[in-house]
Amino acid sequence: MGLSEGGKVAEVLAGPSLIGIFLNVGLLGVMITQVNQYYNAFPKDPLWMKLYVATLLISDCVNSAFNIAWVYNTLVNQFGNLDALAGADWLFSSEQSMAGITSMMVQCFYAWRIQVLTKQWWLVVIVVLSSLVSGLCAIGTAIGVSIVKDFSKFQSLDVIALPWLISCTLCDVLIALALSLYLRKHRTGFAHTDTVVNKIIRSTVQNGMLTASFTIAHIVSYLASPTGIHMIFNYGVVKLYTNSVMSSLNSRREWVNSLSQHSSSRKDDGANMSNFVSTNRSMRPQVTINVETHEMVDIGTSKTDPEWPDMVSSDSGKSMHGAQEKYAV
C-alpha cells in the first residue's frame, strides 16, 4: 500500500525527527541517571559545579519537553493538516537554538579544563571562539527557521547552518586533541599511574570523537539528502554533549579508587606510591597530581582539600606521607 499525500509529506521530515526525538528522550534518561549518581557520589564538590550540572539537566529536560510537544502537536493535534506537516513553528526551531546553547556550555567547560591544565591562553581563546561561532550560528539558524518556516526551503539556510556544524565539529576535535596530547606528554613513567592516565585519555578522546562524529554525520546527511535524515543526528547530539560531561565527572570515583588501592598496596613495579611521589619530585618537577578540573583526583593531599574534599582517600594520604605534589587530570 502506497503512502497517502500526508504520509509522503511526513516522511520527509517528521519521520526522521520522530526517530531523533526517541533517541533524544532515551539519552535524557541516561542523563538523569548520571546526574543522580553525581550528586550521591560527590556531595562536597564546589557549589558552582553542582549548579552547572543542575543547569545542564534543566536544559536537557526543557529541550526534550519542547521536542515532544512539537512532534505531538504535528502528528496528533494537526493530523491530516498538510500545512502543519510542511512548516515549522517555534517549538521546532527551539531545537536548533538549544543545541547551540548546550554545546557552548559544554565546550566552554572543556575550555576551562584546558586552561587549568595547560595554561595556554591562545588555545583556550581558539576553543572559546569556535564554540561561540557555533552557538551563535545555531541560534541564527533557529531564527532563520522561524522566518522561512517552509521545510522545502530550508536549503537557503546553508549560509548559516554549515558554519554552525563545521565550527562545532572543529571545536570538539580541538578539545579532544589538546587534552589527550597534554596528558600523553605528562605521563609519569610508572605503570599503574600511567594506566589511569591512559584511561583518562581514552575517555577524553571517546567523548570528543562521539560528539564530533554526530556533527559530521549531520553535515554529510544535510548536504547529501534533501530529506530530513539529518534531524536524527541533530536531536541526538544535544544529549551526547551533556552526557559526555557527566561521564567525565562520574569517572573520577573510579580513577581515585584505582590510585588509592594501588597506594595502599605500596606496589608499582617495585616502587611504592610514596617512593613514586618523592622520585617524581626530583625527576619530573613539572608533573603535578590533582584533579583541578571536573575529572581531577587528589591522591596526595592531606585530609582536607578545599576544592575536592570528598575525593581524598585516608589510606592514600597515609602512604603518601602528606605529599602535596599533584597531577592535573
Share of the chain above pLDDT 90, in %: 42
User: At 198, phi and psi to the nearest 5?
Assistant: -60, -35
Return d(Cα 312, Cα 79) in angstroms, integer: 58
d(CA 265, CA 325): 20
Amino acid 192: pLDDT? 63
Phi, psi torsion values for 162, nearest 5 degrees: -65, -45
Query: 183: which 3 cell numbers?
Result: 596528558
Residue pair 279/272 in contact (Cβ under 8 Å)? The answer is: no
3-state secondary structure 114-146: HHHHHCCHHHHHHHHHHHHHHHHHHHHHHHHHH
C-beta separation of 127 from 116 below 8 A? no
Q: pLDDT tens, 123-147?
A: 999 999 999 999 999 999 999 999 9
Q: What letter represents residue 61's amino acid?
A: C
Average pLDDT, the chain: 77
pLDDT of residue 271 exceeding 50, the answer is no
87, with CB counted inside 10 A (0-12, 13-18, 19+), is middle
Count other C-beta atoms under 10 Å from residue 169's C-beta. Answer: 20
End-to-end Cα distance, the chain: 58
Backbone angles phi, psi at 42, to 5 degrees: -130, 65
Task: Answer yes or no: are the C-beta atoms of 188 and 197 closer than 8 Å.
Answer: yes
Q: What angle do CA 164, 235, 29 make, to 5 degrees?
A: 135
Stretch(es) of the chain classified as CATH 1.20.1070: 5-252
pLDDT, mean of residues 63-82? 91
**Secondary structure (H, E, C), 3-66:** CCHHHHHHHHCHHHHHHHHHHHHHHHHHHHHHHHHHHHHCCCCCHHHHHHHHHHHHHHHHHHHH
Tens of pLDDT along 298-317? 434 344 443 344 444 434 44
pLDDT tens per residue, range 201-238 = 777 777 778 888 888 999 999 888 888 899 999 999 99
Q: Which CATH fold would you assign to the domain 5-252?
A: Rhopdopsin 7-helix transmembrane proteins (1.20.1070)
162, 219 contact by CB (below 8 A): yes
Determine the 3-state secondary structure of 284 from DSSP.
Answer: coil
Average pLDDT on 323-327 reads: 36
